[in-house]
Structure 1
Amino acid sequence: MSSLSRLGKVFGLVLSFSMVLMPFISRAETVPAIAAAANIKFALDDIVKNFSAETGLKVRVSYGSSGNFVAQIQHGAPFEMLLSADERYIHELQKAGFARDEGVQYAVGRLALVAPNKSPLTLDTELNGVKVLLAAGKLERFAIANPEHAPYGERARELLQKLGLWDGLQTKLILGENASQAAQFAVSGSTQGGIIPLSIALAPQFKALGQSIALPAELHGPLYQRMVLTPKAGATAERFYLYLQSDAAKSVFVQYGFGLPAQ
């Protein structure tokens, strides 16, 4: 065999070996895509920062509504983990075969009534201030997340129905695509206020723009927030999943007004 033929054969073997290794190399180097409910943005941003500082690993987080993420994952979106604002979406993913297992609860959410700094809305836990403005014809716009696919919007609707305000607010509602957008509407000055996640209301960025008050959890169904790995999850996503169950991560969730799930 000529030296040229031998060289060609060796090159072919090296190329073949490289092709075998490539999926594993690219998988190891790829920063995992994580889908997360918008209500945990500020808490999760802090947790991701701490995780990267501690491990040297990175994750890429996309924030939005839980319902939309479920649809995207079922249509092939490359997310390796979903942190949902309502555990029923995780159960839906599992039932459809797009989750490794039933996942774990990572937090319990709360709602808050908020108003921008110059709003005439008085904040109280029974929403009497909302009733007064509504009766006086001075409540023009009120923000919540879209209850059709955002769990915090669903719970806001339940609360408003329980307090007899839902029907009167129908023509006043400004619906955010997700909890984060609803929060922006609620304190932007374009509305008199709104109902948003307490976790967003407590973030420094929002405290500067308005006032808030936590609403009683018994006025709506529970917001059990659950997370799960998808079948696409790699080693980094698995490690981040475990980190989210650590005391360090839990302390951040508590800082942003979340309750912790029962052990």
Structure 2
Amino acid sequence: MLKALLFILLFTFGFSKAELIRVYAAADLQYALKEIAQLYEEENPQDKVELIFGSSGKGTAQIKSGAPYHIFFSADMKYVEELYKEGYVVTEPKPYAIGRLVVWVRKDSGLVPSEFPQVLLDPKVRKIAIANWEHAPYGRAAKQVLENYGVFEKVKNKLVLGENVSQTASFVYSGAADVGFIPLSLAVSSNMREVGTYWLIPADKHDALMQGYGITKVGASSQAVRRFYNFIGTPKVRQIFIKYGFVLPGEKR
């Protein structure tokens, strides 16, 4: 009897494969979502979360083309709403934050980001990193900021486009660019804080970056996907979002 019980336990837990949850997320989530996924896996060792980061526009296009992502986190709620209307996302889009944009420079650059927009015109500034506004929501917001401050035409020849905000941050972090427009969520990460400083751009200088998520059609039948989706709404996860500046109306970081 004991041997039979041990065999059943071994078969159930020893040979069962972990259920995979494949998540495509906007690149501004790279630090927060890694921490969330680690916490989830500690509490749900039977599941494995695979994270893929990129621009929201490209993620949307890939999902429409049949990419096997189970959950989609977008830096622009409009992309999730679009996929929901077209049947590619099966849960009603839910918000997780209103994104904030910052101007970031290295501490050793001698530049002062709060002296915006004049800092962009400093002779020392030869390259300005910005996400590609064709498919990156933060890039669109940054372009709006430059236009609203009346300096887009003055600095457009200095702009260096990143495929997403993660690549944009790497440009300015490495010194390949002198100034960068990046999400607050990246600016507050430990490695970025160590070498750089930032200025928070007023929220009224660009369209609101309402961000949201949902389960895709591919992930609709998976209990593991539903577990992770529900986990995102828990208070402990909310605190991780807030830690990285991902706040909703009424919340403070």
Please state which band the TM-score falls in when normalised by the shorter chain. 0.7 to 0.9
Alignment of 1:19-34 (within 5 A): 29-34=18-23
| 2:185 corresponding residue in structure 1 | 199
Deviation at 1:170, TM superposition (A): 1.1
Deviation at 1:261, TM superposition (A): 4.7
Match of 2:210 among 224, 241, 247: 224
| 5+ residue gaps, structure 2 | 1-14
Question: Which piece of structure 1 moves more, 67-76 or 182-191?
Answer: 182-191
Alpha-carbon distance in 1 for matches of 2:57, 2:108: 33
3-state DSSP class of the match of 2:20?
coil
| 1:258 corresponding residue in structure 2 | 246
| Distance change >3 Å, CA 161–CA 51, structure 1 → 2 | same
Root-mean-square deviation (CA, aligned residues, Å) is 1.9
Alpha-carbon distance in 2 for matches of 1:125, 1:44: 32
Alignment of 1:1-263 (within 5 A): 29-56=18-45, 57-124=47-114, 126-131=116-121, 133=122, 137-233=123-219, 234-261=222-249
| Distance change >3 Å, CA 45–CA 125, structure 1 → 2 | farther
Structure 1 moving runs of 4+ over 3 Å: none
3-state DSSP class of the match of 2:147?
helix
Q: Deviations over 1:97-143 (max 9, x none)?
A: 20103320011110111001221321117433224x1xxx4321000
Count of residue correspondences: 234
Would the aligned equivalents of 1:80 and 1:231 in 2 still touch at CA under 8 Å?
Answer: yes
| Distance change >3 Å, CA 93–CA 262, structure 1 → 2 | farther
Alpha-carbon distance in 2 for matches of 1:125, 1:84: 31
Fraction of identical pairs, as percent: 36
Alpha-carbon distance in 2 for matches of 1:125, 1:257: 22
Alpha-carbon distance in 1 for matches of 2:33, 2:50: 11
Deviation at 1:39, TM superposition (A): 0.3
| Distance change >3 Å, CA 46–CA 92, structure 1 → 2 | same
When Rg is computed on C-alpha atoms for both structures, the one with the higher figure is 1
Deviation at 1:29, TM superposition (A): 4.2
Q: Aligned partner of 1:166: which letter?
A: F
Alpha-carbon distance in 1 for matches of 2:206, 2:115: 13
| 5+ residue gaps, structure 1 | 1-24
Deviation at 1:209, TM superposition (A): 2.3
| Distance change >3 Å, CA 259–CA 59, structure 1 → 2 | same
Q: Structure 1 length as normaliser, TM-score? A: 0.84
Q: Deviations over 1:71-106 (max 9, x none)?
A: 111111000110000001011111222010332001
Would the aligned equivalents of 1:111 and 1:197 in 2 still touch at CA under 8 Å?
Answer: yes
Alpha-carbon distance in 2 for matches of 1:214, 1:46: 24
Q: Aligned partner of 2:111: which letter?
A: L
Deviation at 1:218, TM superposition (A): 1.1
